[in-house]
Chains A and B, each alone.
Chain A
Amino acid sequence: MTDATLSREKPRNQWLDVWDQFRSHGGAFWGAIFFLLVILSVLLGPLIYPHDPTLVPTGRDFIRLKDMRPIYTALWDSGAKVSWAHPLGTDQIGRDTLARMLSGGQVSIAVGLAAMALSLFLGTLVGVTAGYFKRLDGILMRLTDLFLALPLLPLILVAVLLFREVLSATFGPEGGIFVLIVVLIGFTSWMQTARIVRGDVLALKEREFILAARSIGTPNRRMILRHILPNVLSPIMVSATLGIAQAIITESALSFLGFGFPPDFPTWGRLLFDAIDRMVLYPERVLWPGLAISFTVLSVNYIGDGLRDALDPRIRGR
């Protein structure tokens, strides 16, 4: 539904309709704005914000800078160790929390988007192929079942242990683990999408407009691109938004378990992991990364919801 089918009388791009509907969906609109703000701040923030997220101060600075509380603590605790230079405080070895949050967000969101894209691509490919080509249905769906039956977290942990060295050598320590995590999450989370898409394709295939397209002589490739995919967009959109959330959370879980990125490399999950020991004394250290993960995931879910509605011409304009 992309290209220009514009009437000379009424030159109106269909994406305009989509945008209009998307805007009218309150949650989606604000979700999108929030998500954009998060992305902008994690991209531009580290450039503006003066502190280095991995720098550990040495000597007397270490004592002075470590375990600083967020600036708002001063509101109720006048004796708290706060500083305007470190608005969200510092951790137990004096690294600035806000700086770590910002650069950690970069990685977490990048992992989320990349892993979602990969799992969506795989899931849609397998789902559409299995649903559309009867011959491949059995084997592909058994493969899906096989993947569903795998215990994912242990599998990922083993895979990280096995491949970390090799990939680190090729892509560098951070790049290697990024590729590894994205690929692992992508390859272990496409099954739900595949199943849902297959079910929808199976139902769609029996509709008369598919038969009509066949009577026109539309070849399979264009049949899928033109008729099947636009009509299974809704479940794909839902899977996509849930997928981003799932990927961010899985990455957090991996980092939390200490199997993700290197210890000094911040991600939202790693921040949670580091802060867990002294959570009672310094609740802000789990609160802020936790909130960042939750709100990002929530905004993405709203975006997906709105996008799904906006892309369906039957709902559009209501």
Chain B
Amino acid sequence: MLDDTARRKLVEVKNLKMHFPIYSGVLRSRTGEVKAVDDISFDVFEGETLGLVGESGCGKSTCGRAVLRLYDITEGTVTIDGIEIGTMDQQTLRGYRPMMQMVFQDPQASLNPRMTVARIISEPLEEHTDLSDVDKLARVHELMDAVGLNRDFANRYPHEFSGGQRQRIGIARALALNPKFIVCDEPIAALDVSIQAQVVNLLEELQDKLGLTYLFISHDLSMVRHIADRVAVMYLGKVVELAPRDALYATPKHPYTEALLSAVPDPDPSVENRKERVILTGDVPSPSNPPQGCNFCTRCPKVMEICKTVDPTTVELAPGHFTACHLYTQTTTMTADNTVAQEAQKSDQQGE
């Protein structure tokens, strides 16, 4: 277990909500909202990597963008390095941009096709520093070295690079201002597997060298297992489980996490064949009309009556291991064998 008290919280997200309004009808009146991120809280400690996983459409990317205030958040607070940025106006926020940066999912789309690599990487420098052209170029070259790009490529355009190289350009741009916190929004999803490893290793290497803190958004559970220190699992706009990596992968508490983990393929065919998969039925409900009670109640294999009416609160089952599930709300201490506990609790609640 991580020793939480000794480490400083770099990022604190509390009750973050990001709702996108839906306008419809002749008068374009507001008829509802997409609850992309609905009341989530988590902390990221300095120097760690928090993995954020979940299936597509569950609000991972929105969450990452909302944390960096690329959207105007609906509710909640985001504190980065002791500075509350959740309600700050964009003009004031601009001054704090250097400490938080983002690496994007699609390395092709995240680079301006009309700018050379040197200009792309130096854009943050132009915006936030008064460096002379010579110093800027020197810094660009330094960054290109850091991410493993040949300096001679400085005058080329993004379309002349491979996906992995483009992602390196994106990383170099994110590093330009020596940020403390980087949101990696599925940085490896658009790359093929051999390149994924390179990019992830580069990210880890840079973290060691520069003491970076990552919020690593991904749907690739094995990659998250490789890079993250702690993992948050999202489902339909909510964090259903947040735990240190080893604890999460060894003893997943939330039924959704169990299902997700059981879907990870194993390279060993004998293990793969014997593996019991938790197959979820049905689709993810619409985030504009989430089910009453627990968001997962429509697909949960262990659903109970209470799940359909009451939204579960987040409980800490073990130090640093949080989950939001009714299976655990009554007894906060859990035995190691969680299936027994679940069964026990189920009958408990059915008896009520």
Of residues 50 to 99 in B, which have CB atoms within 8 Å of A's CB atoms? 65, 68, 70, 93-95, 97-98
Residues of B within 8 A of A226 (CB): 112, 115, 123
Q: Known contacts A208-B106, A211-B104, A215-B102; decide if A313 and B155 are in contact (CB<8 Å).
A: no
Chain A residue at smallest Cβ distance from B123: A216
Assess whether A212 is in contact with B114, with CB atoms less than 8 Å apart: no
Measured in the bound complex, the distance between the Cα atoms of B91 and A267 in whole Å is 53
Assess whether B112 is in contact with A231, with CB atoms less than 8 Å apart: yes
| Residue B47 at the chain A interface, CB threshold 8 Å | no
Residues of A within 8 A of B109 (CB): 207-209
Assess whether A7 is in contact with B114, with CB atoms less than 8 Å apart: no
Assess whether A227 is in contact with B112, with CB atoms less than 8 Å apart: yes
Residues of A within 8 A of B170 (CB): 212
Q: Known contacts A211-B70, A212-B102, A216-B124; decide if A9 and B152 are in contact (CB<8 Å).
A: yes
Measured in the bound complex, the distance between the Cα atoms of B135 and A8 in whole Å is 12
Q: Known contacts A207-B109, A208-B110; decide if A5 and B94 are in contact (CB<8 Å).
A: no
| Residue A169 at the chain B interface, CB threshold 8 Å | no
Residues of B within 8 A of A312 (CB): 114
Measured in the bound complex, the distance between the Cα atoms of B119 and A14 in whole Å is 12
B115-152 interface code vs A (CB 8 A; 1 in, 0 out): 11011001110011000010001000000000000011
Measured in the bound complex, the distance between the Cα atoms of B100 and A214 in whole Å is 12
| Residue B157 at the chain A interface, CB threshold 8 Å | yes
Residues of B within 8 A of A219 (CB): 94
Assess whether A217 is in contact with B97, with CB atoms less than 8 Å apart: yes
Residues of A within 8 A of B261 (CB): none
Assess whether A215 is in contact with B119, with CB atoms less than 8 Å apart: no
Closest-CB distance, A127 to chain B (whole angstroms): 18
| Residue A142 at the chain B interface, CB threshold 8 Å | no
| Residue A73 at the chain B interface, CB threshold 8 Å | no
| Residue B159 at the chain A interface, CB threshold 8 Å | yes
Assess whether A9 is in contact with B151, with CB atoms less than 8 Å apart: yes
Closest-CB distance, B175 to chain A (whole angstroms): 12
Assess whether B94 is in contact with A217, with CB atoms less than 8 Å apart: yes
Assess whether B114 is in contact with A231, with CB atoms less than 8 Å apart: yes
Assess whether B111 is in contact with A209, with CB atoms less than 8 Å apart: yes
Measured in the bound complex, the distance between the Cα atoms of B97 and A10 in whole Å is 32
Chain B residue at smallest Cβ distance from A7: B154
Chain B residue at smallest Cβ distance from A13: B155
Assess whether B173 is in contact with A212, with CB atoms less than 8 Å apart: yes
| Residue B167 at the chain A interface, CB threshold 8 Å | no
Measured in the bound complex, the distance between the Cα atoms of B112 and A231 in whole Å is 8
Chain A residue at smallest Cβ distance from B157: A313
Residues of B within 8 A of A214 (CB): 70
Residues of A within 8 A of B106 (CB): 208
Assess whether B110 is in contact with A217, with CB atoms less than 8 Å apart: no
| Residue A230 at the chain B interface, CB threshold 8 Å | yes
| Residue B319 at the chain A interface, CB threshold 8 Å | no
Chain B residue at smallest Cβ distance from A14: B116
Measured in the bound complex, the distance between the Cα atoms of B119 and A25 in whole Å is 27
| Residue B105 at the chain A interface, CB threshold 8 Å | yes
Assess whether A7 is in contact with B133, with CB atoms less than 8 Å apart: no
A182-223 interface code vs B (CB 8 A; 1 in, 0 out): 000000000000000000000000011101111111110010
Residues of A within 8 A of B116 (CB): 1, 5, 14
Chain B residue at smallest Cβ distance from A212: B110
| Residue B213 at the chain A interface, CB threshold 8 Å | no
Residues of A within 8 A of B122 (CB): 5
A1-45 interface code vs B (CB 8 A; 1 in, 0 out): 100111111101010000000000000000000000000000000
Assess whether A218 is in contact with B152, with CB atoms less than 8 Å apart: no
Assess whether B128 is in contact with A12, with CB atoms less than 8 Å apart: no
Residues of B within 8 A of A313 (CB): 113-114, 157, 159
Closest-CB distance, B201 to chain A (whole angstroms): 23
Residues of B within 8 A of A233 (CB): 114
Assess whether B127 is in contact with A217, with CB atoms less than 8 Å apart: yes
Assess whether A1 is in contact with B115, with CB atoms less than 8 Å apart: yes
| Residue A60 at the chain B interface, CB threshold 8 Å | no
Contact of B70 among A207, A215, A314 (CB under 8 A): A215
Q: Known contacts A10-B155, A215-B101; decide if A1 and B70 are in contact (CB<8 Å).
A: no
Chain B residue at smallest Cβ distance from A218: B127
Residues of A within 8 A of B157 (CB): 313-314
Measured in the bound complex, the distance between the Cα atoms of B116 and A312 in whole Å is 12
Closest-CB distance, A228 to chain B (whole angstroms): 10
Measured in the bound complex, the distance between the Cα atoms of B113 and A215 in whole Å is 18
Measured in the bound complex, the distance between the Cα atoms of B304 and A182 in whole Å is 76
Closest-CB distance, B81 to chain A (whole angstroms): 16
Chain B residue at smallest Cβ distance from A222: B127
Chain B residue at smallest Cβ distance from A217: B97
Residues of A within 8 A of B127 (CB): 216-218, 222
Chain A residue at smallest Cβ distance from B176: A216
Assess whether A5 is in contact with B119, with CB atoms less than 8 Å apart: yes
Measured in the bound complex, the distance between the Cα atoms of B159 and A208 in whole Å is 15
Closest-CB distance, B229 to chain A (whole angstroms): 23
Closest-CB distance, B212 to chain A (whole angstroms): 15
Closest-CB distance, B163 to chain A (whole angstroms): 14
Chain A residue at smallest Cβ distance from B118: A5
Instruction: Provide 8 A-B residue pairs closer than 8 Å at the C-beta atoms, listed in order of the A residue.
Output: A14-B116, A207-B109, A208-B105, A215-B68, A215-B100, A217-B93, A227-B112, A314-B157
Beyond the given A215-B97, A215-B101, could you list 14 further A-B residue pairs with CB under 8 A, ordered by the A residue number? Answer: A5-B119, A7-B155, A9-B151, A12-B155, A209-B112, A211-B102, A211-B104, A213-B123, A216-B123, A217-B94, A217-B124, A226-B112, A233-B114, A314-B113
Interface residues of A (CB under 8 A from B): 1, 4-10, 12, 14, 207-209, 211-219, 222, 226-227, 230-231, 233, 312-314
Q: Which 3 A-B pairs have the closest CB atoms?
A: A217-B97, A208-B110, A313-B157
